[in-house]
Every structure is written in structure tokens, then in C-alpha cells.
Amino acid sequence: MSQLQPLWTPHKALTPTLNAMYDQRTLAQRLHMDIPLLLGLLLLSGIGLAVLYSADGQDTSILIRQGIRLAIAFTAMFVLAQVPPRHLSFWTPWLYAIGIVLLIAVLAFGDVAQGAQRWIRIGPLNFQPSEMLKITVPMMVAYYLGARTLPPTFMRLLVAGIMVVVPTLLIARQPDLGTALLIACSGAFVLFLGGISLRLIAACAILASASAPVMWYLMHGYQRQRVLTFLDPEQDPLGAGYHIIQSKIAIGSGGTYGKGWLNGTQSQLDFLPERSTDFIFAVFSEEFGLSGVLTLIAIYLAVVFRGLYIASQAQDSYTRLLAGSLVLTFFVYIFVNIGMVSGILPVVGLPLPLLSYGGTSLVTVMAAFGILMSVHTHRRLISE
Amino acid sequence: MKPIHTIKDIAAEARIIRGRMIAACFGVLLLAGLLVLRMIQLQVVEYEHFSTLSEDNRVKIVALAPTRGLIYDRNGVQLAQNTPTFTLEVVPENVEDMDALLLELGELVEITSEDIERFRRMLKKKRRFQSVPLRHRLKEEEVARFSVNRHRFPGVDVQARLTRSYPLGASAVHLIGYVASMNEEDLQRVDAARYRGTTHIGKTGVEQAYESVLHGKPGIQRVETNAQGRILRVLERTDPVPGSNITLTIDASLQAVAERALGLENGAVVAVDPATGGVLAFASTPVYDPNPFVDGIDSKTYRALLASPERPLFNRALNGQYPPGSTVKPFVGLAGLELEAVTVDHEIFCPGYFRLPGRERRYRDWKKWGHGKVDVTRSIVESCDVYYYTLARELGIGRLHDYLSLFGFGRRTGLVLQGESAGLMPSAEWKRKAKGQAWFPGETLITGIGQGFMLATPLQLAMAAATLSTRGVRLRPQVVLRRDDPATQETVELVPETLETIAPRLEANWQTIINAMTDVVHGPRGTARRIGVGATYRIAGKTGTAQLFGIAQNEEYDAEKVDKKLRDHALFIAFAPVDNPRIALAVLVENGGGGSKVAAPIARKMMDHYFQQVLDTADEQLILTATELPAAANP
């Protein structure tokens, strides 16, 4: 009885088959999950909950609510990861068309919240069609360009441009400048990845800066105020500039190592407005300092680069363009939010994905990652 | 026309997209690097700057109001104290519907329309996040009832604080005064640093005069506040230094006797200790309750006080200026003796009137048929007017003015209370300046009996009596017996302050006057002999009756027929015991009628109380003089 004997030893002939059965597809692959991406997202969600707990007066009820939202968002990611990219591709024109119709519907009879029409009621659900377009616009452009030869011809660029501009303008009219900006970006990223000529990009940039005065004219009062405040926050320290001044104080006073979790005076003592939503990064910076900020940015970059890697490994143009655009748009979120909280960009109401408290955009972001995972885990041995 | 589907070069397309992705990677790194640089700028380079701003944000310096010094009477009876009271306070910014709130609160706690009126007035002055008191002095059960329902009223809270209160209420209000909320004027006048955190300031009386002593020094608290300014934590604290406690020279029981004796009459009683100048009683009636002033008196009550014909707010002892009437006679008599206008035994015949040579007008004596032959003693004992007409004429207004001024007539006594009136000691020069008229000889005559232009305050009369009792030592009246600084344990005791000394030319002259005044009370013909009955000590006094309107030459003054407002003022000055004066006083009863009938009995009550209850009854000297009383005390 010196050694334990296995109860049953399979016949040697069966071994390769069995090995193939167990080894070829890991559990993650069968669930269509990408482990590095999933770990990164979970890590960010965890950090988000911890900061939120501190930012919102150490209230556990908000943690529960955010937890439920995260669960819904991760579920959305999981569900989308199961859908093979070719199904997505097939449904793309339809989804895009539905999105445009809903946007028009919102403008016609949507609910007004905080002076903007963004919501539409479908049965018991409040639904924000603009969120859906954050995904369907890059899908549509990728679908259109991916099915044709790359780099696209000028005519195709024009058609693709219209596909982006129409929903962008509709959303800007709601008005929701942040989302409009993101959707324009997501479309532009597809064009960029699709090989649009650099000369055209330069021309667009010149056109955009030339149209700035026109944009100024079209802006709402509060939007203009945000730009003015961005240019000179001190001009109105108790009004519009208050957010950005307090936010900079919070970040700056965090120093290298921060004031410690739950010890940020700016956040704990109510000086920092919107601290559980758009300005949560200021809370994080105050409490964890530069060391924490570098760690957080590193995690975000890891997620972005993993996403770009997935996009580069995709097997057709549609999935490459779509995945690349979604990841770059995710980065735009991060850049714009941190840029605005730290005072190098104007205040546009964009949340910091996975850290800010809030539901709808979270679901959209996670849905995008679901598509990325789907792209990565539905690859076939032979590229089509 | 191109075909819809061209042949795709998959590898070439993949190359294009990969190339762009590499470019995108660099773009991402570049922008991320930009963010990192920004963070380094904020968190490392400008750390000090933002750290300071953050500290400024959260740390505020709050002043701690010092505890105001207490006020006691000479026996330690509390006259002004700080009582913990509960105040219902509202922070306006936390209230959505103020009207509904007031209505709902009214069901729990009694809120009068005066409270609401005052609340709304203060609401306008304060900032939105500052607490505004709605109801002062909540009762215990009201506090309990509110506490149970507090959750229903965001922005409403019960604050416990020390409130000044005057346990004796209206008694001695004209001396003690009161504190009230600081107004704009006060805020500009005071040293802002010393008054940080303080809401109330002494407005009248001792509270006002000794403000700097009672106030103390504020402490400082460094506190952590949130964005709304709510204090969350105390970081550092320097305790405030309480103000000094003040022990007044007055005796609360004697004060009460004075006020009770004056009763419903309008009048004043001032009693002083001739040896020190310490004020023993300082009464002015009618009195009023100072307590409502502390919380901010409602305008209805205040208007009523202002409009009252009795003028309760008027400090008669300090500011009431009355013709001294016959109470001036001992001083005029002394002037006559000392200035050698008359001798002690010089006699004047009083036929009941006096006539200036060559003039028709008769200056009447109060005794229609005259006093007959009168010397200086008799002139005081019986209060003969003709003697003083004659003497005044002899002295002339110049000498009369100068000598009486020595006793403080027409000059402020120097009591610390604000706004003391100086009275009026007329002279030819004064009349020329004030009225632009020449002095008439007749005016000298009536000045000799304390009528005409001459005016004196009850305080001046009391001090003049005290000066007489000390044979010419004129002291400054003082109200503070002792100041105890609780912080340094230092005590400042009253030091008698001699203003000036009237050097007697002949001691006997003074004795003559004092003896005559003693006979006013104890002599068989004294005008105040009624109050001498049964006295166990000897009193020197002088009655006075100040006429408020002239009586025609052949008319009779009949008190019954005269309107109360025009009736004579009753006066009495006195000191006792004669040989060892311990108390000097002046009594004035407005429109009281005769000094002997109305004013003198009040003085007797005061003295009885003072000697029997206040001073140690074992005091040998008092008893001694009491047993040596002459039989003349009982006429």
C-alpha cells in the first residue's frame, strides 16, 4: 500500500482524442471570454466600487446599486460575447436603421431630463437610443467599408461620412454634446483604421477648426459657458468655475501618495461637486495620489492595448475595424474625462468608464467589450 | 462603372489596418503621456499650492465668545447671570417652504406672532446658511417635544447657549442696565477682534459702562468644515477668557425697599455710603423688565414702553433734573455762614413774605402768616423761605453760584453710567449766554430757595448730602465694590476717590447746619419730625417741595385742586447717623406734594432697613448713638 493506484486507466489509443477534448478549448474559450480583458475590467470595477464608497459618504446602498449595474453590464458583455461576429455583421444595417428611427423618435416625443431630450420610454424601460448608436455607428461604418476594398474611395468616404454625421447631429440637437462627440469619434476611428489618406485627415482638421465659430454660434448657453470656464476657470470661482477649481485642488493636494482612502478632505467634506459621477477621478487622485493615478492609467492602458491586440488579431476587415474603433473610443472616454477633471479639456459631461457611478453608458461600454471578446473567441482556424 | 464587388486583397487590407493600429497605439501612448504629465504637474510640481488651498478650504477659524462676567450686589446676590437656555434655530437654506415650516413648528412649540416678526426681520440680515433664532427660552417639555419630531424638520435645531438674564427682573434696572444684540453702530465702534463670536453687548447701565471689564477675551477654535461651512471637527482650541465678575456697591434688599417705598409713584431714590462714595441704592420708578431686551424686544412692547406717560425707560436718578426746592437751604445757609454774610445768631423777621426794596412784588413764604424771628438754625428746621430770600440777596447770585457749585450742583458727579445729566446751577453769566438776558435780582431770591432756573438730579442731591455729612469731602460716586478676574484671580477693590475737599472756614458753621438738619427730623418743630419718631439713630435731613408752577399773588395753593401732573415734587435729603454717617440719600417723588409727608418717610424706611438688616446690628457706634437720643425726638 505504498502507492495509490488509479481506479481506471484509459486505453492508450484514446489519449490523443481525450487530450484534444480537454486541451483544445479552455473553459474561457467555451464561454467566449478573454481572460486578460476580463481581469482588467473586473479590476477597474473593483477600484470603482472602492472609490465610489469613499466619494458618496461611505454609503453601502450606493455600492449595491452600482453592483447591480455592473452585474447588468457584465451580463450584457457576456451575452454579446456569445454572438458570432457574422451574426452581428448580418444585423448591422437593421440595427443602425432602428437606431436612427429611435433618435428621431426621441426628438419628437422623448422625455426631457435636465433640459435635454435623451430618453425614450418603452414599456417600463427608460431607454437612451444615443447609447445604442455608440456601437451601431462604428458597426455600420465598418460594415460598409469592410465589405468593400480598402483603402476606401472618396465616394465611399462621403457615404460613410454621412452615416456618421446624421446620428451625430441628431444627438447634438438633444443636446448631448459629449455623446455626439464620442459617436463622431467612433465613426472617425473606423475611417482612420480603414486607411483614409493622411492628407484628407489634415484637410478635415483644418475644416474643423475653421468651423469653430459656427459651432460657437450653434452652442447652447451652458455649453458656451463650459468652454469659457475651461479657458479661464478663475473668472467665476463660485459659479461655473467652481467645479474645475475644486477638482484641481483635490487632485493637486493628493500629492505623490495621496491622503489615503476615505481621507480626501475635498471629497469627504463636500467641496468637490459631482464627485461620484463625472468627477470621481478627482476623488481617486486625492486619496491615492500620483502613485495611484499611474497605476490606474496603467490598468486602463493595459485594457486598451489588449483590445487593440484583439482587433489586430481579428480575421476580417469588418471585425478589425469595429474592434479597433470600439477600443479607441473607450480610450477617448478616459482621455476626455481625466483631461476635463484635471483642467486641460473643457467640462463635457463624460463619465470615467467603470469608475463613475451611473448605468447606461456602463452597459454600452461593456457591450463593446462583449463584441471584442466575441471577435477574439470566434476565430476559426482558417481565416475567411 | 465599377463592379459592386471588387476582388479584395485581404492581406493588403490587413496590412493597412495594422499600420493604422500601430499609429493609433502611438497616439494613445502620447495622449496618456500628456495626462501623466498633467498629473505630475498638479500633484508634484504644484502640490504645495493645492495643498494649501485644500487646507484653506477645510479649516476655518471660529471665535469662541467669552462668558460674560456676572454682576452681584454687595452681599453676593446675583443681579445679572448667564443662564443656559434653549433656542429654536432655523438654517434658511435647508428649508423648502418657510411658511409651512413655521405653521408646523407652531403645533409643537409655542411661536407667537412677535417671534415670527422678529425672525423674519433677522432672516433678511443673515446669510442663507446661517442659523437664525426663531424662539428663545424654550421650555424643557418643548425641547423634548421638538426632539422627538426633529426628523420632520430639516434645517431646524435646538441650540443651547448662555443667555444673559436678570434674576431680580425690573429691580435696579436703571443701574444694572441690560445687554442686547449688537447693532451696526456697535459693530463699528467695538474692536472687531475682541467681539468675534459675540452677539450681545451692554446697552445701558453698568452692563454698558463696564462692558470692557465684563466682556472678557474671545477664544479661538480651528475647525474643519465642509463646503457648507458646517463644523465637523475641532482641530485646535484656545479657550476664551471669561470677563470679570462685578460686585456692585448696591444692596439688593435696600434697593427693593426703595422701589417698594416709591410704589406706584414716579420718583427716584439714591443712597450712598458717604465714607466711600459707594452707591447703596439707585432707584428710579417706574421700573421695567430688562429681560425681554436680551432676546430682542418685540416692537409692540417696546413702543408701549416708549409711549408710556410714566416714562419707565427714563433714568430719573441719573437724568431727572428737578428744582431742588428747600433741600438747597442747608447749603445756602452754610454759604451764608462761611462767606460771612450772616452770623449764627443773626435773626431775620419773617412776616410771611419778602419784598425787594422799591418793588411791589411779594415773594411769599410757604407759611402765610410768617415765622417771626428766625435765625439760621430755625430757618432750616422750619424751612423759612424769607430767611433765604434775604440771605440770597445778601450773597448775590455770583457767590451763591460759586459756593453751591462746590457741592457739585450744576456739575456731573462723575458716576460711570453713561449720559449723566449735570443739572443746572444758574449764574448771571450763564443766563446771558443761554438766554441772552440780564440776570434779575428776583431770580437770585428764588435761587436761594432752590426754585427758578436751578435744577439738580437726585444723584447730585444725594452726593451733596454726603459731602455735607463728611464736612466737605466730596467723593466721586461709585457703583463697583469689587471686580474679580476669574482668569488671573486678581481682585480690584473700590478705592474712594476724592474729587475735592471743601475746606471749612469754621468747623462750627458746619456743625450748626448739621445740628439744624438733625432738628429737622428730631426737633419738636422740624418739618420732618414725624419720621424721627421711634428712630434708634439720629438723622440729619432736609425736606423740600419743588413748585412746578407759579401761584398768583393772592391765590392759595391747594393740592386737591391741582392736576396731578402739575403738583409739587416732594424731596428729601438726609444722612445718618449724624455723628458717624453711614448713609446719605436723596428721595424725589414726582408730583408727590410735600417733601415731609411723602419723601421723608421713604428715607426713614430705607435707613431703618439699612441699619437693622444690612449693617451688622452689633455695630457699637450705631447702638451708641441710638441710646443717646434726646427726648426731643418725641414732640
**Whether the predicted pLDDT of B634 surpasses 50:** no
- Is B24 in contact with A192 (Cβ distance < 8 A)? yes
Average pLDDT in the B202-224 region? 89
Superfamily grouping for domain B63-248: Penicillin-binding protein 2a (Domain 2) (3.90.1310.10)
Exposed e or buried b per residue across B234-245, where buried means at least 16 C-beta atoms within 10 angstroms of its C-beta: eeeeeebbbbbb
Contacts of A158 (CB under 8 A, 6+ apart): none
- CB-closest option in A193, A265, A344 to B17: A193
- Is A195 in contact with B14 (Cβ distance < 8 A)? no
Backbone dihedral angles phi then psi of residue B343, each to the nearest 5 degrees? -105, 170
Chosen for mutation from B50, B55, B59, B93 (greatest number of chain A CBs closer than 10 Å) is B50
CA-based end-to-end distance of chain B: 151
CATH architecture of the domain covering B258-285+321-633: 3-Layer(aba) Sandwich (3.40)
**Whether the predicted pLDDT of B628 surpasses 70:** no
Chain B CA closest to residue A332 = B28
CB-CB neighbors (< 8 A) of B44 in chain A:
255-256, 290
Helix, strand, coil in percent for chain B, rounding step 5: 40, 20, 40
CA distance A180 to A187: 11
- Is B21 in contact with A331 (Cβ distance < 8 A)? no
- Which residues of B make CB contacts under 8 Å with A? 6-10, 12-14, 16-18, 20-21, 24-25, 28-29, 31-32, 34-36, 38-40, 42-44, 46-47, 49-51, 53-55, 57-58, 224-228, 232
Give the closest-approach CA distance of A290 to chain B in angstroms. Answer: 6
**Whether the predicted pLDDT of B553 surpasses 60:** no
**Whether the predicted pLDDT of B271 surpasses 60:** yes
pTM for the predicted model, two decimal places: 0.62
CB-CB neighbors (< 8 A) of B10 in chain A:
316-317, 383
- pLDDT at position B625 is 47
**Whether the predicted pLDDT of B400 surpasses 90:** yes
In order of A314, B464, B569, B575, B592, the CA distances from B585 in angstroms are 113, 9, 16, 6, 17
Cell numbers representing residue B148 in the block: 422627538
With cut-offs at 50, 70 and 90, classify the pLDDT of residue A9: low
- Is A149 in contact with B9 (Cβ distance < 8 A)? yes
- CB-closest option in A246, A252, A297 to B32: A297
Q: Which residue has the higher pLDDT, B463 or B113?
A: B463
pLDDT digits (tens, 9 = 90+) for B355-367: 888 888 888 888 8
- CB-closest option in B21, B39, B46 to A308: B21
CA distance B114 to B102: 13
With cut-offs at 50, 70 and 90, classify the pLDDT of residue B247: very high
* Dihedral of the alpha carbons of A335, A337, A338, A343, in degrees to the nearest 10: 110
- CB-closest option in B10, B35, B227 to A335: B35
CA distance B204 to B207: 6
With cut-offs at 50, 70 and 90, classify the pLDDT of residue A100: very high
- Is B21 in contact with A311 (Cβ distance < 8 A)? yes
With cut-offs at 50, 70 and 90, classify the pLDDT of residue B558: low
**Complex ipTM value:** 0.87
- Is A248 in contact with B42 (Cβ distance < 8 A)? yes
CB-CB neighbors (< 8 A) of B55 in chain A:
253
**What are the extents of the domains in chain B?**
63-248, 258-285+321-633
What is the 3 state secondary structure string of chain A? CCCCCCCCCCCHHHHHHHHHHHHCCCHHHHCCCCHHHHHHHHHHHHHHHHHHHHHCCCCHHHHHHHHHHHHHHHHHHHHHHHCCHHHHHHHHHHHHHHHHHHHHHHHHHCEEECCEEEEEEECCEEECHHHHHHHHHHHHHHHHHHCCCCCCCHHHHHHHHHHHHHHHHHHHCCCCHHHHHHHHHHHHHHHHHCCCCHHHHHHHHHHHHHCHHHHHHHCCHHHHHHHHHHHCHHHCCCCCCHHHHHHHHHHHHHCCCCCCCCCCHHHHCCCCCCCCCCCHHHHHHHHHHHHHHHHHHHHHHHHHHHHHHHHHHCCCHHHHHHHHHHHHHHHHHHHHHHHHHCCCCCCCCCCCCCCCCCCHHHHHHHHHHHHHHHHHHCCCCCCC
Exposed e or buried b per residue across B619-631, where buried means at least 16 C-beta atoms within 10 angstroms of its C-beta: eeebeebeeebee
**What are the extents of the domains in chain A?**
32-222+236-377
Residue B44: alpha-carbon gap to chain centroid: 62
Q: Which residue's entry shows cell 493600429?
A: B21
Cell numbers representing residue B552 in the block: 398768583
Give the closest-approach CA distance of A217 to chain B in angstroms. Answer: 29
Average pLDDT in the B18-47 region? 93
Evaluate whether B63-248 and B258-285+321-633 have a shared fold: no
* Dihedral of the alpha carbons of B260, B264, B270, B272, in degrees to the nearest 10: -10
- pLDDT at position B627 is 44
- Is A290 in contact with B28 (Cβ distance < 8 A)? no
Told to judge if B51 belongs to the known catalytic residues of this protein, a careful annotator would answer no
- Is B39 in contact with A294 (Cβ distance < 8 A)? yes
- pLDDT at position A323 is 95
Q: Tell me the average pLDDT of chain B.
A: 86
Q: Among A170-179, A236-245, B571-580, which is the least confidently predicted range?
A: A236-245
Give the closest-approach CA distance of B183 to chain A in angstroms. Answer: 30
Please identify which of the residues B244, B326, B383, B427 carries the catalytic annotation.
Answer: B326
With cut-offs at 50, 70 and 90, classify the pLDDT of residue B100: confident
Give the closest-approach CA distance of A257 to chain B in angstroms. Answer: 9
Q: Among A23-27, B60-64, B213-217, B557-561, which is the least confidently predicted range?
A: B557-561
- pLDDT at position B624 is 42
Q: Which residue's entry shows cell 465599377?
A: B2
Q: Among A75-79, A350-354, B91-95, B610-614, which is the least confidently predicted range?
A: B91-95
- Is B226 in contact with A149 (Cβ distance < 8 A)? no
Are A321 and A146 in contact by the 8 Å Cβ rule? The answer is yes
Amino acid identity at B500: E
CA atoms within 13 A on the CB side of A314: 30
**Whether the predicted pLDDT of B587 surpasses 90:** yes
**Whether the predicted pLDDT of A3 surpasses 90:** no
Are A318 and A48 in contact by the 8 Å Cβ rule? The answer is no
With cut-offs at 50, 70 and 90, classify the pLDDT of residue A17: low
Q: Tell me the average pLDDT of chain A.
A: 84
CB-CB neighbors (< 8 A) of B24 in chain A:
189, 192-193, 308, 324, 328
